[in-house]
Structure 1
Amino acid sequence: MSVNPWWQQAAAELNDEARNLAWQHQNQLTKPPGALGRLEVLATELAAMSGQSRPELHHPHCIVFAADHGVVAQGVSAFPQAVTVEMLKNFVAGGAAISVLAGQNDFQLSVVNCGTAQPCDALQGVVHQPVAAGTADFSQQPAMTAAQAQAALTIGAGQLDLLHQAGCDLFMAGEMGIGNTSAASAMAALLLDLDVAGLTGPGTGVQGEALDHKTQVLSASVTRAQGSYNQPLDALIEVGGFEIGAIAGAYIRAAQLGIPVLVDGFITTSAALLAVHLNPSVRDWLLFSHGSAEPGHLLLLAALQAQPLINLDMRLGEGSGAGVALSLIRQALALHNNMATFAQAGVSGAED
């Protein structure tokens, strides 16, 4: 009798009783029902996830997963791979956008090296779990082996096990890796059976002829990979990235452990798409922070039937959109938990 791999094990069940109690509470607050719009929905969704009719956040945590991509040899990025390790240094030094947001919005930040092209094992403040020194050039061959794909998924799962033990009650993932918009676009094209041209954007800022070249490289890569694509994990193997696999594994494990997930932008949404294709039960645990300026993001959100919380034309990555949207979630919960009811305020309700 075959046993399903860990990533196919069911996610935790949402608590419908807590959601219903949260809605009852919302309808007693000193406002017309529905007047706070999606802030009300957000609070009740978190009630179902937490099992508490008055949910609170105490230990949100963001992990930035980093890795490099062999396809950059084809000239698909405006930046060299050396930038990946330089940005890891920036993350731990506190100078990156996600580092600033962690301090501003009071969440923990970790950085995990899943496989940079340049060695950085001596860099303090980073968890080093490299699968390999970057993926292979997926325009020429599969990005990774099946064993490497499973190792990437397991990195993310292991990090979530640690966060769960530490009491994490909301998980955000960020990413860093020169070339990873190319991987995200190609992987999503395979998973959704779409033309990769419609999923390809500027990434680090490629424009004009450079963007046309990037699109051509990705189109040829997806065509190559389609001959070997039979199941969702093949998308990661053929054209994915180690950090994207780790994020997908983290999302799956978070859902299994009952930890709400706040998805960031284009690349992390491609990881969410992979996670949901590997394990559909994960979808119930995903909240989506923002609509990225990357043109393919809207297609991914539509495929996941997701409506992001904010749209600020951001396309930085790192988890920065999630870091900004976290403050909105906190406000939704503050309103839900701290507003007076009609009875408490001595205000006549709609039916009085």
Structure 2
Amino acid sequence: METIKGVCGNIVPLKNEYFIKAQSRLDILTKPQGSLGQLEQFAARLVTIYEDEMPSIPKKAVFVFAGDHGVAEEGVSAFPAEVTPQMVLNFLRGGAGINVLARHAGADVLVIDAGVNYDFKDCPGLIQKKVVYGTKNITKGPAMSRDEAIKCVNVGIALAREYAQKGIKMFATGEMGIANTTPSSAIAAVVTGRPVKEVTGKGTGIGDADLSKKIAVIERAIAVNAPDAADPIDVLAKIGGAEIGAIAGLCLGAAQLRLPVVIDGFISTAGAVIAYGLNAMVKEYMFSAHRSYEIGHRAILEHMGLTPMLELDMRLGEGTGAAIAMTILDASLKIYREMATFQDAGVSDKS
């Protein structure tokens, strides 16, 4: 298998010539120049990523990575850990929010067990890539070993390659894992250098007292593990999660393949920032779907310089925001492909 370093070395910057070609077409469509705002920017970026002057509407998939977290035993979530496998089964039955919104977006939902503390055994539809049976409690030591963290990243890289070969040309990230806002807040604090209290929110809906406890738990985890902010794999191994690592790998794999990846909310962006730390060029292939209600999400987006497409106060995860954003990206390409030019329509332009 190609190493993470090898994948990072094969990520290339976008070619500005394609952006110029896309903008030239957008400027002769029957509208005032720039009047469709960010839709035009999205279309031009997609043309540039695909290196195709007239890209078709892509086949899409939302990758929902699932993993458990030992830190859940510290009482940092409003829900018990057994909800993780229960929700995985709900995804497979098609009954979750992501299933509804992915159907709306015309996207497949791929459910991956990266680190759930449960034996699914024979479970049709589940992509079984388990690296760990949940991470360890980060207040007592590392979430996982460095080797396990690397394996989690490689899960995402391999899936990007496999599904690109199956014709999927736009990826979206999603996740499920009770207590995963805790490692995500820890990652946010370490990579941005901000105090824990400035990047930690209420997750699934804990009260003020539990929020204070959650902040203390994260501060303790960082003190115990002393993750090296300059080494993203060290950060992932010491205070991250299996699904977070797999999301990082999907981002890297998409960038290497020159395919766009739509990043969902807080946890997905924690995975994206691990990828960004490994190679900052990965950002060129990312679309930030939305800014969630979680305060740590804003901090990571600012750190990477990503502007979210939407702000809907969402905090469900699963890839739900990314599925909605995919419909907007489709709309941008339809405008680009199907709208008449001034010449085609026989309409006089402003000159």
TM-score by length of 2: 0.96
Give me the whole-angstrom Cα distance separating, in 2, the residues matched to 1:108 and 1:241. 24
| Matching residue of 1:303 | 303
Give the SS at the match of 1:5: helix
Deviation at 1:24, TM superposition (A): 0.4
Deviation at 1:12, TM superposition (A): 3.6
After TM superposition, list the pairs within 5 Å mapping 1:312-351 onto structure 2: 312-351=312-351
| Matching residue of 1:116 | 116
Task: Provide Cα deviations, 1:61-90, integer angstroms capped at 9, x if missing partner.
Answer: 111000000011111111111100000110
Q: Which amino acid aligns with 1:52?
A: D
Cα contact 1:43–1:55 (8 A) shared by 2: no
Give the SS at the match of 1:127: strand
Task: Provide Cα deviations, 1:139-187, integer angstroms capped at 9, x if missing partner.
Answer: 1100000110011001111111111111211110100000111011101
| Matching residue of 2:196 | 196
1:11 and 2:11 equivalent?
yes
Task: Provide Cα deviations, 1:27-71, integer angstroms capped at 9, x if missing partner.
Answer: 101111111111110000001001112222231111100000001
Give me the whole-angstrom Cα distance separating, in 1, the residues matched to 2:91 and 2:4. 37
After TM superposition, list the pairs within 5 Å mapping 1:149-298 onto structure 2: 149-226=149-226, 231-298=231-298
Relative to structure 1, the CA distance from residue 66 to residue 206 in structure 2 (aligned partners, 3 Å threshold; closer, same or farther) is same
| Matching residue of 2:48 | 48
Q: Which amino acid aligns with 1:129?
A: K
Give me the whole-angstrom Cα distance separating, in 1, the residues matched to 2:287 and 2:130. 28
Query: Tell me, which stretches of 5 or more residues in structure 1 are unaligned?
Result: none
Give me the whole-angstrom Cα distance separating, in 1, the residues matched to 2:117 and 2:105. 32
Cα contact 1:10–1:281 (8 A) shared by 2: no
Cα contact 2:189–2:196 (8 A) shared by 1: yes
Query: Tell me, which stretches of 5 or more residues in structure 2 are unaligned?
Result: none
Q: Which amino acid aligns with 1:46?
A: L
Cα contact 2:190–2:227 (8 A) shared by 1: no
After TM superposition, list the pairs within 5 Å mapping 1:29-68 onto structure 2: 29-68=29-68
Greater than 4 Å deviation, 4+ residue runs: 227-230
Relative to structure 1, the CA distance from residue 299 to residue 230 in structure 2 (aligned partners, 3 Å threshold; closer, same or farther) is closer
RMSD: 1.4
Deviation at 1:228, TM superposition (A): 5.7
Give the SS at the match of 1:183: helix
Relative to structure 1, the CA distance from residue 4 to residue 93 in structure 2 (aligned partners, 3 Å threshold; closer, same or farther) is closer
Percent pairwise identity: 37
Q: Which amino acid aligns with 1:327?
A: T
Deviation at 1:224, TM superposition (A): 2.0
Q: Which amino acid aligns with 1:248?
A: A
Give the SS at the match of 2:168: coil
Give me the whole-angstrom Cα distance separating, in 1, the residues matched to 2:227 and 2:90. 40
Relative to structure 1, the CA distance from residue 164 to residue 309 in structure 2 (aligned partners, 3 Å threshold; closer, same or farther) is same
Give me the whole-angstrom Cα distance separating, in 2, the residues matched to 1:76 and 1:56. 44
Task: Provide Cα deviations, 1:237-290, integer angstroms capped at 9, x if missing partner.
Answer: 110000000010110011001111111111111111110101112111111111
Give me the whole-angstrom Cα distance separating, in 1, the residues matched to 2:223 and 2:190. 9
Relative to structure 1, the CA distance from residue 82 to residue 227 in structure 2 (aligned partners, 3 Å threshold; closer, same or farther) is closer
Q: Which amino acid aligns with 1:321?
A: G
Give me the whole-angstrom Cα distance separating, in 2, the residues matched to 1:4 and 1:118. 28
Deviation at 1:233, TM superposition (A): 1.2
Give the SS at the match of 1:309: coil
Deviation at 1:230, TM superposition (A): 5.2
TM-score by length of 1: 0.96
Deviation at 1:4, TM superposition (A): 7.3
Deviation at 1:7, TM superposition (A): 4.3
